[in-house]
Chain A
């Protein structure tokens, strides 16, 4: 590779990305882009973000070797990047601290966010509390039920949580509703977008705020003997994945694998595997990427046990990396993810998020393929405390529920 793929600035990543938004939002996105471009080269911003990462989030996050888990994965060496140990329990905090700091720079006093699993909502509510911003989180009504504990967490942190009852009542509709709020309140309000998708500058900006994952992990791997053979992460919109991939993009010997939610299986049609499922390109939520859609361009509702991966689109940089063959995208079913979830709990004493369990399932498969010589770095993007009820139900550990 002659040209670096790292830190691509957008708005386009090959044929993907761009900014497909109502005119009403153009001024705000221009202003945000401008503020971000200035912040990027401002040592003061960098210092503040680094201080928060260290003193608030708890960075750098450690890596943990998982030999007992690896015994079930062909004996490959498996190393976990522990984003689950961050304050608030996932990688989402890396992004919101950056965007909340930008909000202050813009002189805005209110933030809004969409959330699926609730991790981004919790992180947003946390950053808003820390920085004295008003915060409203939109969450599909279906997800408020699946993730009731996270709803309470957001409320405890002082945020207003609005259950969204339109459309499929999941993440995509929460994004629609957040856009509607933004159009109406853009003068005072900044949209803390949760993943590396949406209109420019979000895909590049969110990737930049998450790339610390890969920068740290790459150095940690080198300290432990060298670059891994593969880096694996789960992909919904794909922010933890692009965050860990970015530092390895120019290491052409390192395979990059994104694990999308295969739901009930690709053949069932009930999944959220946008790239692995062979979806066509289209425009959704402000950028051009692969999306689950019918012949008329109507978005098809996705299916996944994991609320955080249950999204019919994918970040445009992933679409690009798939298109040029730099990264591969696999579909991991609900059942495979839950098997990996349980395995990590029992072999390593680590309770992973169901989202991250998709990456763990990918690691099991890859480890069995590559054998004991291989080293696999897995992004453990979040912890599974929020998923205890879902998992307990999946494994039949709850008392019989009333019909």
Chain B
């Protein structure tokens, strides 16, 4: 049991899915991104995904690309993720870092794991790494009690589902559709079946992300998943408002809408 799984299980005990919100560190700057994450926690997000901006984000759509590119241009560093993690944890929520593989490799997996533990983080989500090639990280993470969250996709075979579930801790991240992050008019129809298949492959907790945009989406996904993951719809609140107060106000409204969604699902 960790802070992360406790929080997921607490939501389950309340008869609802957890709400997981993503923002990249460093947009529009490190301090403001950390304050935005804290604002999400205050407005009803259960768990925060702290994104590490990367130069070649092959799984991200235009919204997150835009924020990440801007953050990189303004000089965000990998280490800034730990500043954001600490702010989230101090605000009372578990934090997981979502990072493409190369920034973690170049930071050094042991050092990354140490610094994540020191900041109070619960673990990592690895969008472009599968357990097949994550041995070094998995060893570092399990030695320190960090969770490692891998993704499954509608294209995952039964064999891959079992394999991925066996190597995942915390929760399994089920991609609702074949595609990149971004807001969409509807949640992929494949998501519910994928959650069921992932559970059948042995997963204790399965959270769904990609394309979840509205409170209605959160309600629909919350009916069958252990957690609802939202990214681009939250990032857009920051992209659309240059003024910090306006951005945080828009963010709180969006989080409240999503939090209502997960609370009316079952």
Contacts and interface: CB of A to CB of B under 8 A. Distances in A.
A22 B102 contact: no
Nearest to B101: A283
A299 B154 CA distance: 30
B242 to A, nearest CB: 22
B180 A23 contact: no
Given A22-B153, A23-B151, A180-B61, A283 B180 contact: no
B229 to A, nearest CB: 15
Given A176-B57, A180-B180, A297-B78, A24 B155 contact: yes
Interface stretch (A65-73, A77-85, A181-189, A347-355): A181-189
A398 interface: no
Interface in B51-74: 54-59, 61-62, 65, 69, 72
A27 B155 contact: yes
Interface string A171-198: 0110010011001111100000000000
Contacts of B32: none
Contact of A184 (B129, B150, B180): B180
Interface stretch (B2-10, B36-44, B156-164, B250-258): B156-164
Contacts of B106: 280, 282, 293, 295-297
B72 A298 contact: yes
A298 B132 contact: no
Nearest to B127: A22
Contact of B107 (A23, A27, A291, A296): A296
Contacts of A295: 106
Contact of B160 (A19, A27, A166, A298): A27
A27 B151 CA distance: 13
- What range describes how many residues of A lie at the interface? 35 or more
A167 B180 contact: no
Interface residues of B, number: 40
Contacts, number: 108
A282 B102 CA distance: 6
Interface string A284-306: 11000001010111110000000
Given A183-B59, A184-B179, A22 B128 contact: yes
B12 interface: no
A262 interface: no
B83 interface: no
A186 B69 contact: no
B205 to A, nearest CB: 17
Given A26-B130, A167-B69, A183-B59, A297 B107 contact: yes
A297 B103 contact: yes
Instruction: Tell which of A19, A24, A25, A180 has the most Cβ of chain B within 10 Å.
Output: A24
Contacts of B13: none
Residue of A282, A284, A296 with most chain B CB atoms under a 10 A cut-off: A296
A183 B56 contact: no
A20 B157 contact: no
A366 interface: no
A173 B133 CA distance: 24
B178 interface: yes
A22 B107 contact: no
Contact of B155 (A173, A186, A284, A285): A186
A173 B69 CA distance: 12
A284 B103 CA distance: 10
Interface string B125-147: 00111101100000000000000
Contacts of A296: 77-78, 103, 106-107
Given A186-B178, A187-B178, A22 B58 contact: yes
B228 interface: no
Given A166-B69, A184-B180, A187-B178, A22 B156 contact: no
Contact of B151 (A24, A187, A297, A299): A24
Nearest to B164: A23
A180 B156 CA distance: 17
Given A27-B155, A167-B55, A297 B160 contact: no
B175 interface: yes
Contact of A27 (B57, B61, B129, B157): B157
A21 interface: yes
A176 B56 contact: yes
A215 interface: no
A196 B94 CA distance: 42
Given A19-B132, A22-B58, A298-B54, A183 B102 contact: no
A225 B128 CA distance: 50
Nearest to A180: B180
A316 interface: no
Contacts of A282: 102, 105-106
Contact of A299 (B55, B104, B107, B128): B55
Interface string B80-108: 00000000000000000000011111110
A183 B129 CA distance: 14
A375 to B, nearest CB: 41
A361 B72 CA distance: 37
Contacts of A291: 102
A238 interface: no
A374 interface: no
A291 B106 CA distance: 11
Given A176-B58, A183-B59, A183-B179, A23 B103 contact: no
A284 B77 contact: no
A166 B62 CA distance: 9
25 contacts: A20-B133, A22-B59, A22-B153, A23-B130, A23-B153, A24-B154, A26-B155, A27-B160, A166-B65, A167-B55, A176-B57, A179-B58, A180-B61, A180-B179, A180-B180, A183-B179, A184-B178, A184-B179, A186-B178, A187-B155, A283-B102, A285-B56, A285-B58, A297-B54, A297-B105
Interface of B: 54-59, 61-62, 65, 69, 72, 77-78, 101-107, 127-130, 132-133, 150-157, 160, 164, 175, 178-180
The 7 closest A-B pairs by CB, nearest first: A297-B106, A24-B153, A297-B102, A184-B179, A179-B58, A297-B103, A299-B55
